[in-house]
Structure 1
Amino acid sequence: MQKKYLTATYYFDIESPEIQELIADYTLVPESEKIARLYLKVRDGWRYSPFNIGLTAKHFKASSIFRKNEAHCIDKSILYIAGLRALGIPARLRLAKVSNHIAVERLEKKLGTSEIAPHGLVEVYNNGKWVKCSPIFNKELCALYNVEPLDFDGSENAILQEYNSNDLKFMEYIEDYGSFKDVPLDFIKETFKNMYPSLYDVFKNENEITI
């Protein structure tokens, strides 16, 4: 039943040298440790940036993401999923709409709103159930905004923090778009176009931009 969430695709190119390098240190450790250790590597190894955006197939290819220093939420989710599948652990992409409530000035200036859509998450199949996680906010960013970094070992959900350590609203889920066995590029593009029509026009001439 979960076999389709283990397969390689254009986006989850799990046999590529880059993804094999990503998982090289975790192939011989217990499964629960694979989940936790790879999660930390993706969470902290690529700095989160909501401002680097691409809407091409190549942009969302796991091996291409691996070669970057920073990545968007969908990008980091794709990378973690590819690594999990390469380790034999079923994983899939989940998309949603979220709102950021802290340090939103630049985001609102660029996007025209504090809402981010689609936002990427990961679902991992472990111990007979699907568990959600967010390998997005690296620990340095969390420290900057006084938010506890999320840990994840596959035992329970670890999704975005609703409040920071000062009990200020941090992130809020607005809408759930469901789960996907592969990267739904057309859906991502259409959602982005509906959310940010003026910014979408920029992509007529540019495949990838930093806003």
Structure 2
Amino acid sequence: MEPTAATLAPTPLIDSDHPDVVDFARRHAVGDDDRERAVALYLAVRDGFRYDPYRIDLSADGMRASGVLARGYGWCVPKAALLAAAARAVGIAARLGYADVRNHLSTERLRRLLGTDLYIWHGYTELWLDGAWRKATPAFNLGLCERFGLLPLEFDGVSDSIYHPYDRAGQRHMEYVHQRGSFDDMPLERIAADIVATYPNWVAEPVSADSFTADVERENA
């Protein structure tokens, strides 16, 4: 499906008209064409904001794109929203995609919080480049990948950037088990209801800042 007006428009959660999002997009969308600008935005979101799956806030304020800019960290769903918002801010059509994935590598605390290795509503971004939708997954920042022994997800604007099935050592990493489809806006009500029902401990337990990075470093020392 080709882009529609909705894939370029701001929404309450993909707030591409927010002044901070506009400024971020203009500063980082460097390149001679949409592909180069999209790659530059991808790297800015991937590495500029620490991945933190411990501290989640399922409110609109906690999930919208501009909130990632304000906090300096996020997990896959809001980071994907930020990339979509930044792309729309510079005229690149963008939408959100979701899938359920089985994570074969995690921390002990995250496994305890979730009670499973199945992650529902994993978020990524789809960008319209050179006549096709390209998947881009800006979740894991480069520093985290290096600490965790993961292969970083690269994006060239041509091939899809999705989770690797194996890590650097050849161990199982991510497995896509169910595709939930593509959306012009984040279906927050559905995401929040499913996450609360599936992972009540993940939502309820407060976790201190930087503890995910600390857990990764300790378990991989």
Q: TM-score, normalised by structure 2?
A: 0.86
Task: Show CA shifts across 1:107-154 (max 9, x none).
Answer: 111111122222111111111111111111111111112222111122
Name the % identity: 35
Q: Is the 8 A contact 1:53 1:210 kept in 2?
A: no
CA drift of 1:66 comes to 0.9
RMSD after superposition: 1.8
Q: Is the 8 A contact 2:29 2:38 kept in 1?
A: no
Q: Is the 8 A contact 1:107 1:114 kept in 2?
A: no
Question: In 2, distance between residues paired with 1:199 and 1:48?
Answer: 16
Secondary structure of the 1:137 match is: coil
User: Which segment is superposed worse, 74-83 or 14-23?
Assistant: 14-23
CA drift of 1:198 comes to 5.1
Question: In 1, distance between residues paired with 2:189 and 2:207?
Answer: 21
Q: TM-score, normalised by structure 1?
A: 0.90
CA drift of 1:18 comes to 0.9
CA drift of 1:34 comes to 0.5
Q: Is the 8 A contact 1:107 1:113 kept in 2?
A: no
Task: Show CA shifts across 1:77-103 (max 9, x none).
Answer: 000000000011111111111122123
After superposition, where does 1:150-189 map in structure 2 within 5 Å? 150-189=153-192
Unaligned runs of 5+ in 2: 209-221
CA drift of 1:24 comes to 2.2
- Aligned twin of 2:215: none
1:113 and 2:116 are equivalent in the alignment? yes
Question: In 2, distance between residues paired with 1:198 and 1:82?
Answer: 30
After superposition, where does 1:1-211 map in structure 2 within 5 Å? 1-2=2-3, 3-26=5-28, 29-30=31-32, 31-197=34-200, 199=202, 202=204, 209-210=206-207
Q: Is the 8 A contact 1:104 1:114 kept in 2?
A: no
Q: Figure out how many residues of one structure are paired with residues of the other and give that number.
A: 205
Question: In 1, distance between residues paired with 2:60 and 2:50?
Answer: 21
Task: Show CA shifts across 1:146-182 (max 9, x none).
Answer: 2221111221101011101111001111211111100
Secondary structure of the 1:89 match is: coil
